[in-house]
């Protein structure tokens, strides 16, 4: 079933997004076993993302052959476990985290590829810079020599109002395009999960993070919440 889901999804993404850019599919692997993740990789997944450092570390050696992303909220005391091991951190959401990442990355002689997380729906339950301060945040974060800013990440709110969601998505793409004009490293807009990725891709997302759509429903609901 995993292999079939992966193949079908990759086929759907083959045409690229609304801008004609290729779309990177990141398999969101929280709660999945190394066997399940390796099955997804064998079927064509090239990028995998964990949202807890403990799972990232536990499965690291048992999973092979894919780029590693970190997509969840990152506590500063866990940063050290990702140094040198993570290809893209999607959740650069505050200066305190940037400070810790900078310190650890510099000490290791490593550069952390990061996406700046934007709280697009201005939700209290989510972290990230506000859409209004996104440009300023990116400007500030460029001053950290061991962070390479590669784009933006956002999570849409839960809503039945698809026009509202579309407006949020389009405004994310706007912010992304504005910053991209002055930054050659900017190339990823990571936005879209199993329930909303079609809309996100229509509005210009070029990186989506899918869990349930690839692996089926998660076993433990408790594991879904961000720490
Ligand atoms: C779990 C998770 C996803 C994928 O969620 P699905 O709804 O299962 O596709 C995407 N992004 C983040 C940050 C996640 O934690």
Ligand 1: centre distance to CA 20 (Å) = 24
Does the structure show a pLDDT above 50 at 3?
A: yes
Number of domains in the chain: 1
Three-state DSSP string of 159-180: CCCHHHHHHHHHHHHHHHHHHH
211 lines ligand 1 (CB under 6 A): yes
For the chain, give the percent of residues with pLDDT over 90: 96
pLDDT score at 219: 77
Element (H, E) at 209: strand 207-210
128 lines ligand 1 (CB under 6 A): no
| For the CA of 197, the nearest atom of ligand 1 | 9
193 lines ligand 1 (CB under 6 A): yes
Q: Is residue 221 part of a domain?
A: no
| For the CA of 195, the nearest atom of ligand 1 | 7
Residue 157: DSSP 8-state = P
212 lines ligand 1 (CB under 6 A): yes
Q: Is residue 50 part of a domain?
A: yes
CA neighbor of 140 nearest in space, from 83, 87, 179: 179
Q: Is residue 224 part of a domain?
A: no
Q: What is the pLDDT of residues 117-142, one digit of tens each?
A: 999 999 999 999 999 999 999 999 99
Mean pLDDT of 45-58: 98
Q: What 3-state class would DSSP assign to 147?
A: strand
pLDDT score at 124: 94
Neighbours of 169 (CB within 10 A): 24
Q: Is residue 219 part of a domain?
A: no
Q: Is residue 33 part of a domain?
A: yes
The residue to mutate among 91, 197, 209, 219, having the most atoms of ligand 1 within 8 angstroms of its beta carbon, is 209
CA distance 21 to 11: 15
Q: Is residue 54 part of a domain?
A: yes
**Domain hosting residue 44, numbered range:** 2-214
Q: What is the pLDDT of residues 148-187, one digit of tens each?
A: 999 999 999 999 999 999 999 999 999 999 999 999 999 9
The residue to mutate among 2, 25, 26, 28, having the most atoms of ligand 1 within 8 angstroms of its beta carbon, is 28
CA neighbor of 192 nearest in space, from 217, 171, 174, 165: 165
CA distance 222 to 219: 9
Q: Is residue 25 part of a domain?
A: yes
Domain containing 101 — which CATH number?
A: 3.20.20.10
Residue nearest (by alpha carbon) to ligand 1 atom 12: 71
Mean pLDDT of the chain: 96
User: Based on the number of CB atoms within 10 Å of its own CB, is 212 exposed (0-12), middle (13-18) or buried (19 or more)?
Assistant: middle
In 1-123, at which residue ranges do the beta strands (DSSP E only) sit?
24-28, 47-50, 67-70, 88-92, 112-118
Q: Is residue 222 part of a domain?
A: no
User: Based on the number of CB atoms within 10 Å of its own CB, is 152 exposed (0-12), middle (13-18) or buried (19 or more)?
Assistant: buried
Mean pLDDT of 106-117: 98
The answer, as to whether pTM is greater than 0.85, is yes
pLDDT score at 221: 56
Mean pLDDT of 22-38: 98
- pLDDT band at residue 227 under the 50/70/90 scheme: very low
209 lines ligand 1 (CB under 6 A): yes
- The angle formed by the CA atoms of residues 103, 226 and 214, to the nearest 5 degrees, is 110
């Amino acid at each position: 079933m995993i292999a079939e889901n992966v193949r079908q999804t990759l086929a759907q993404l083959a045409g690229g997004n609304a801008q004609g850019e290729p779309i990177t599919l990141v398999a969101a692997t929280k709660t999945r076993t190394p066997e399940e993740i390796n099955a997804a990789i064998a079927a064509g997944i090239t990028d995998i993302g964990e949202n807890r450092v403990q799972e990232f570390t536990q499965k690291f050696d048992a999973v092979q052959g894919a780029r590693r992303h970190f997509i969840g909220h990152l506590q500063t005391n866990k940063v050290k476990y990702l140094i040198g091991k993570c290809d893209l951190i999607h959740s650069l959401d505050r200066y305190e985290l940037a400070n810790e990442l900078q310190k650890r990355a510099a000490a290791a002689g490593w550069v952390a590829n990061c996406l700046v997380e934007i709280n697009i729906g201005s939700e209290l339950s989510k972290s990230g810079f506000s859409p209004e301060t996104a440009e300023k945040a990116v400007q500030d974060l460029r001053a950290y020599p061991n962070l390479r800013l590669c784009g933006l990440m956002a999570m849409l709110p839960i809503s039945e109002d698809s026009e509202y969601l579309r407006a949020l998505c389009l405004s994310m793409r706007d912010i992304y395009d504005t910053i991209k004009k002055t930054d050659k490293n900017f190339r990823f807009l990571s936005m879209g999960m199993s329930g909303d990725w079609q809309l996100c891709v229509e509005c210009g997302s070029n990186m989506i993070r899918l869990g349930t759509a690839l692996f089926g429903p998660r076993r433990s609901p408790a594991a879904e919440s961000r720490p």
